[in-house]
Structure 1
Amino acid sequence: MLDVHQAVVSVQRAWAAGNQPGATLEAAGEAFAKTVGYRLYTVTQMLSGGLEVERIYTTNADVYSVGGRKPILPNAYTQRICGEMKPFLARTPAEFAPLFPDHETIVSLGLGSVMNLPVLFNGAVLGTVNLLDREGAYDERHVEQAMLIAQQIVPVLLARACKE
């Protein structure tokens, strides 16, 4: 296992690479894999107006493709991520099923634990890092570590927002 501070530095080193945003998002994926683990890793970006998110990175393009969009639904998940600007953790499908319209797809992939990490800058949620694994794989200790890594993708989301 990689120390979380070493993981953060590895993502920061990727900022200098020319093949952005891929270099940074892939470095973050490696950092997540070596610290908290995952079976599915995606990144979504808030779209202007705040009513929708767009997937900008995925490790399973067959099911969750880049460019896929989802509406932001008014529920406890959205309040946690967008209102409180705090991570969302669900250790079992029962905890996320009422909040995620795609819960059946998630479970069909053998995923039962979810960490959604808001990426924050200047008092706003730019997007989320979404890590999924087997049921019970994550706890609060994982959330804290993963948030430190997730914040390292701020430059990717800012650069994309500037192009909108």
Structure 2
Amino acid sequence: MTGQPLLQNLAQAAHALGRADGADARWAEVSRLAEAVFSHRLLTGLVYLREQRLMRRIFTSDESISPLGGFKATGRGPWSVQVLEQGLPYVGSDEADIRTVFSEADLLIERGLHAVLNIPIWFDAGVIGSINLLGHRHAYDQVSEPLIDLMAGLCTPVFIREREAAQDAALSLDRSGLDSV
């Protein structure tokens, strides 16, 4: 999508996100925009708690693949450094890339999810979350960085609202059995 249709989708999303009443309405608009601009078979939203080095899934378009609410510990692996620390998008083109990033890679691949685009969400000079889009092989190889940045900026308020709830839940979390990214 380019030109006027792209601009119209971005403008509609900015307007709708500002007027959305509640998390469900905000995530419906994020999903609509992501589908229109990038296409996806699975969209998830993860809030990042930098001080605790934790991520929590706050949205999923398919709970049978990616259930809501679970925490993952973040480490010092290449994905965590690139997306969470450096705040750079990650594009994975195929199954090998999926396997390097996701602990549930076999399930994702089995469901036909062979490529990924991770969009870091910034606020207060740090990453506070990630939008993850999964689709067919090479689905995101040609996505432009300015478009990624626009998507991230439009979605920042959604993540700010969700971060507080995740911080409260993390206070009583037993980290011993967590998967890591």
Both structures adopt the same fold (TM-score exceeding 0.5): yes
CA RMSD, 1 decimal = 2.0
Is this contact kept in 2: 1:36–1:145, CA < 8 A? no
Aligned partner (choices 64, 78, 81) of residue 79 of structure 1: 81
Distance 2:95 2:59 in 1: 23
Q: Give the deviation of 1:48 after TM superposition.
A: 5.6
- Determine if the alignment matches structure 1 residue 46 to structure 2 residue 38: no
Amino acid at match of 2:105: H
Q: How many residues align?
A: 164
Q: Give the deviation of 1:67 after TM superposition.
A: 0.8
Match of 1:92 in 2: 94
Distance 1:120 1:147 in 2: 10
TM-score w.r.t. length of structure 2: 0.81
Larger gyration radius, structure 1 or structure 2: 2
Distance 1:99 1:27 in 2: 27
SS in 2 for 1:98: helix
Aligned partner (choices 114, 117, 121) of residue 115 of structure 1: 117
The CA deviation string for residues 95-117 of structure 1, in whole angstroms up to 9 with x for no partner, is: 23123211111101111000000
Is this contact kept in 1: 2:50–2:128, CA < 8 A? no
Structure 2 gap segments, 5+ residues each:
169-181
- Determine if the alignment matches structure 1 residue 159 to structure 2 residue 161: yes
Indicate the structure with greater helix content. Answer: 2
Amino acid at match of 1:64: S
Q: Give the deviation of 1:38 after TM superposition.
A: 0.3
Match of 1:24 in 2: 26
The CA deviation string for residues 48-70 of structure 1, in whole angstroms up to 9 with x for no partner, is: 62411111111101221121222
Structure 1 gap segments, 5+ residues each:
none
Sequence identity (%)? 21
Q: Give the deviation of 1:46 after TM superposition.
A: 1.1
Structure 2 counterparts to residues 138-149 of structure 1, below 5 A: 138-141=140-143, 144-149=146-151
Amino acid at match of 2:113: L
The CA deviation string for residues 48-94 of structure 1, in whole angstroms up to 9 with x for no partner, is: 62411111111101221121222213211111112211000000111
Is this contact kept in 2: 1:47–1:53, CA < 8 A? yes
The CA deviation string for residues 26-50 of structure 1, in whole angstroms up to 9 with x for no partner, is: 1121111112100000101013624
Structure 2 counterparts to residues 51-70 of structure 1, below 5 A: 51-70=53-72
